[in-house]
Amino acid sequence: MEKGSHQVLNKNYGHLISFGFVEGEPFFCIGPHCKYHIGRYFLCLFSFFLVTSLLFLLVVCPAVSSGNTQLGAMIFGFLLINYLLAAVINPGVETRKEPLGNGEGEGSENFCSECEVYREEKTEHCDDCGVCIQGYDHHCPWTSKCIGKGNICFFYNFLIGILISFIFCTGTLAMFGQVHRG
Ligand SMILES: [Zn+2]
Ligand SMILES: [Zn+2]
């Protein structure tokens, strides 16, 4: 290969756009945004959360109390940050080019012939991302890529954030209604 050292910095895996390499492994991986329509789900849902939470914080919360606005900002911030991290952090792209050391070589079920890497248990190939993912959980259209070992904690935090936001909004709207009636 004659492409020089800068190619390492821009190396992509499968359909993922990878950057920010740490010890040869990508730190950030963005799902197939530009190539497939699936990437737009993230941008649409993220914008939706951002706009609705800002409207809520600027219009509804101040009518209830300033403490309510601060609590809302923390909850929505938690939701948005974890959603963003789940969408940009490397989900666990398998890059191992050597056998695992248990005597199994190319052709065994631990070898992925599509990305030519050796897989450990719980590593699975994703056709949408075009790579093998360590600790594969599922391919998530809402983050536009796989949920695996690297980003599953942010994904769970995001789900918890949705639940807490829902409870917070319901409670705040109930108080908002009382303020306006009283
Ligand atoms: Zn693979
Ligand atoms: Zn995937």
Per-residue model confidence (pLDDT) at position 79: 98
Q: How far apart are CA 144 and CA 129, in angstroms?
A: 9
**106/77: higher pLDDT:** 77
Q: What backbone phi and psi angles, to 5 degrees, belong to 133? A: -120, 125
Q: How far is the CA of 146 from the centre of ligand 2 (A)?
A: 4
pLDDT greater than 80 at residue 7: no
Any idea which ligand is nearest the CA of 13? 1
Beta partners for 17?
30
Dump pLDDT digits (tens) for 14-52: 999 998 999 889 999 998 765 556 567 888 899 999 999
Q: Determine which helix (DSSP H) or strand (DSSP E) holds 147, and give its type and residue range.
A: strand 145-147
Dump pLDDT digits (tens) for 123-179: 999 999 999 999 999 999 899 999 999 999 999 999 999 999 999 999 999 999 998
Q: How far apart are CA 109 and CA 116, in angstroms?
A: 12
Extents of the domains making up the chain: 6-83+93-181
Any idea which ligand is nearest the CA of 115? 1
Q: How far is the CA of 114 from the centre of ligand 1 (A)?
A: 5
Q: How far is the CA of 142 from the centre of ligand 1 (A)?
A: 22
Q: How far is the CA of 56 from the centre of ligand 2 (A)?
A: 33
Q: How far is the CA of 20 from the centre of ligand 1 (A)?
A: 22
Any idea which ligand is nearest the CA of 126? 2
Any idea which ligand is nearest the CA of 125? 1
Tokens of 120: 């450990």
